[in-house]
Amino acid sequence: MAARLIDGKALAQQVRERLATESAELFEKSGIRPGLATILVGDDPASHVYVKNKQKACELAGIYVDDHKLPAATTQSELLALIEKKNADPKIHGILVQLPLPKHIDSKVILEAVSPLKDADGFHPYNFGRLVEGHPVFEACTPKGVIKMIESTGVPIEGKRAVVVGRSNIVGKPLALMLLQRNATVTICHSKTKDLPAVCREAELLLVAIGKAKFVTADMVREGAVVIDVGTNKTPEGKLCGDVDFEPVSRLAGWISPVPGGVGPMTIAMLLENTVESAKRTAGLT
């Protein structure tokens, strides 16, 4: 039987519509409109497209966008000064610094300069630490989106055997922690894992974030598993494709997310959700 599709695009639209209602209600109750500052340094064309998409999504969700496009020659101290200003700006509830930053700027220093109270991307060590403790405030957008996608299937996470392939600080590790918090039994795999196919075959929830096109093949997937593909890779023909070999795996899995149209749109939706939740906290409504 073919797997059912987890439609990230449709789910993201539902999230945006809900957030538009919540933003309007918040404004009515408190006069606060959720605000996101977007900061982009340099001319990387892909980054410009990503930021534009995020800004468009914000508008659809009733979020005010404070746009900052800085030249590639911007110094680290100039960028830090802008972040300080946004940290103190009461109209701003989330700050997005688009990565990658130019090489002369230390991303770690910049991400740690963002106030943990406005950390809409969920990358600040304070928020990562809160997640480790099991008391998250801002959660990283991509893993948060993956959790919502699993929840949308109706398959309970509790008690499930979950395998996360990839251990980056922005996807694999936080995702594993979020699954653990929801009482899954979690295994984290990486490039040194021995007999990865055997470990993956144990997974009732298989979450893949490695960045290698069609790496996960059907022989690595348990029948009926929920398979979520975070990977974004380019085929030699220039098409976008995931880390999972979609066609053969979808004949075996219970649920599967596509690329494109899976995790990508949900990542943006979670950035919006984090911003609206932050504005609600400011208003004392959560």
Chain CA centroid to CA 70, Å: 24
Our answer to whether residue 98 is catalytic in this structure is yes
Between 23 and 142, whose beta carbon lies closer to ligand NDP? Answer: 142
Residue 43 annotated as catalytic: no
According to the annotation, is 257 in a ligand binding site?
no
152 among the known binding-site residues?
Answer: no
Q: Known catalytic residue: 54?
A: yes
Which amino acid would we find at residue 245? Answer: D
162 neighbors 188 (Cβ within 8 angstroms): no
**Nearest one of 35, 33, 7, 24 to 265, comparing CA atoms:** 7
197-236 footprint of ligand NDP as x/- string (CB under 6 A): ------------xxxx-----------------xxxx---
Letters for 131-170 (x = contact with ligand NDP by CB under 6 A, - = none) are: -----------x----------------------xxxx-x
How far apart are the C-alpha atoms of 46 and 54, rounded to whole Å? Answer: 12
C-alpha triplet 22, 25, 29: angle, nearest 5°: 140
- 226-229 β-sheet, strand order: 4-5, 255-256, 226-229, 205-208, 161-165, 185-189
Site for ligand NDP contains 187 (CB under 6 A): no
Check whether 232 is labelled as a binding-site residue: yes
Residue type, 98: Q
Q: Determine which residue in the list 52, 190, 234, 239 makes contact with ligand NDP, applying CB under 6 A.
A: 190
DSSP at 163: E
- The amino acid occupying position 48 is H
7 closest CA partner among 255, 239, 280, 199: 255
- Map residues 93-132 to x or -, x wherever contact with ligand NDP holds by CB under 6 A: ----------------------------------------
Catalytic residue among 121, 229, 243, 245: 121
Q: Is 235 annotated as a binding residue?
A: no
List residues near ligand NDP by CB under 6 A.
Answer: 142, 165-168, 170-172, 189-193, 196, 209-212, 230-233, 263-264, 267
Annotated binding site: 166-168, 232
Catalytic residues: 54, 98, 121
